Amino acid sequence: MKAGDIVRFHTEHRMTEKIDWKLGLLIEYHTWEKIARILYKGEIVTVRAEKTQLAFRNPEEI
């Protein structure tokens, strides 16, 4: 994942059958921290990397 990617994430503490995924813009991600900072509804949200997935990347960046 790189800054500028669209990612999906959740903030659930327990894994349930139905997870409410949210889409946001990845602002910052460092592999050694395992933390993603995501812009969601005008606020920066900090989420563990295990709860974050790449949803879309600009084709020019591939």
Domain map (residue ranges) of the chain: 6-11+21-61
Q: What is the pLDDT, as a whole number, of residue 15?
A: 67
Return the percentage of the chain with pLDDT > 70, whole number: 89
**Residue 44 scores a pLDDT above 80:** yes
In this structure, which amino acid lies at residue 50? E
In tens, the pLDDT along 20-38 reads: 899 999 999 988 999 999 9
Average pLDDT of the chain to the nearest whole number: 88
Residues linked to residue 40 through DSSP beta bridges, in sequence order: 43
Q: What is the pLDDT of residue 1?
A: 85
Share of the chain above pLDDT 90, in %: 63
